[in-house]
Amino acid sequence: MKQVKIFLLFFAGMLLTACGTDNDVKSESIFDTTAPSRTGFDLWLYNNYTKPYNIMFNYRYIDSETDQTYNLIPADEDKAKALAIMVKHVWLDAYAEAVGADFIKKYAPRVYQLIGSPEYNSNGSIVLGVAEGGMKITLFRVNAIDIDHPVIDHVSSFPDTEAVPLDLNYWFFHTMHHEFCHILTQTKNYSTDFQTISAADYRTVDWVNVDDKDAPKYGFPSGYATKEYNEDFAELYSIYVTHTPEAWQGILNASLIVTGSKVKTDAKGNPIFKLDANGNRIPKGYLLDQDGNRLIQMGEDGKLYYAMEYEVETEDTYDYTYYNNLVSKMNLIKDYFKNSWGIDLDKLRDVVLRRSAEVSTLDLRTLK
């Protein structure tokens, strides 16, 4: 018992010695409270991204924010400035205008990471962007931006991905809408009906071999959309809101498969002939009998003439299966955004297109 008492007294003494007195407590924090040193660009990012939207815009290369399995290079600061100005104008402010600043403040990814170079996969594909857990978007190929000649192609159904200067719509803005769509659908699920429409046509393994121009013939807006239904959903959404109605119609038209051709007829069922500039029928050739001899017919003037065949107006007949698949999927997407988020995609598209057109008037070298 005495040994126990002695041990308790010794332990109590240690506690008193360790705790010391209030006067021994240091007033300095163990954390570094020194204000970080910020450049003019850093301050601009703080005022335009961090303060209004709680977004960290990393233009410097940060190892912990990148995939170490790839060989990557940092973004050039001037290119990063230009992209930051454009992203705010075309992407952030577009959602703030169309839906409200609170929406983008609540759901936008908290971290943007810029990388100067592309990220190449072993199958030959290039990663346009990465969304991680709804928290971060990484954008690649920043160093390929032409600051003085920004191009945002929103009128082509199938943009030239190899064009120089770089098409910013394809490489950045479409990508950001695509990745943001993933964030929203991970927050609120969309109808499982979407998954069934093109279920038999997805190409999980060889999607990389599907050219964008061929994708509509299988019911998809791009080759990447053929990978699986989540990518299909995000591709449809991002392409729709970043392209004109005419460009979208071009994708729909490309999904039509010609099944035949028929002669156009008038109200009485007579064939409609092609006419030249003078209003005369365009000859196609002489009519021949089974032996190859020209046939003779009597004209309206009572004279005999070699019988002629004339060019007729024709129209193709189409299989609308994949056209209807695209329309059905797009309607489900519109319903999802309207009912789940209160977003009218046509109105959002109008805002995005207007702001995209305004980029040519922006000073991308001066922070304001």
113-142 confidence digits (pLDDT tens)? 999 988 777 666 677 666 666 688 889 999
Check whether 21 has a pLDDT greater than 60: no
* Coil vs helix vs strand at 249: helix
Which residue, chain included where needed, has tokens 């990220």? Answer: 119
Rounded to whole angstroms, the Cα distance separating 155 from 234 reads 19
Which residue, chain included where needed, has tokens 């809101």? Answer: 241
Q: Which pTM does this prediction carry? A: 0.77
Q: How close are the terminal C-alpha atoms of the chain, in Å? A: 78
**How many C-beta atoms surround the C-beta of residue 263 within 10 A?**
12
Fill in the amino acid letter for 1: M
339: its two tokens: 């009912």
Q: Are 353 and 244 in contact (CB under 8 A)?
A: yes
Mean pLDDT over the full length of the chain: 87
pLDDT by residue (tens digit) across 222-231? Answer: 999 999 999 9
User: What pLDDT does 10 receive?
Assistant: 45
Rounded to whole angstroms, the Cα distance separating 232 from 143 reads 28
What are the φ and ψ backbone dihedral angles of 294, each rounded to 5 degrees? -65, 140
pLDDT by residue (tens digit) across 171-185? Answer: 899 989 998 999 899
User: What pLDDT does 8 receive?
Assistant: 46
Task: For residue 52, give the nearest of 82, 81, 88, 84 by alpha carbon.
Answer: 88
DSSP secondary structure code for residue 222 in this structure: S
Q: Is the dihedral of CA 355, 361, 364, 368 positive or negative?
A: negative
Transcribe 92-154 into DSSP letters.
IHHHHHHT-HHHHHHHS-SEEEE-SS-EE-TTS-EE-EEEETTTEEEE--GGG--TTS-B---
Q: Are 169 and 242 in contact (CB under 8 A)?
A: yes
User: What pLDDT does 302 receive?
Assistant: 84
pLDDT by residue (tens digit) across 37-62? Answer: 789 999 999 999 999 999 999 999 77
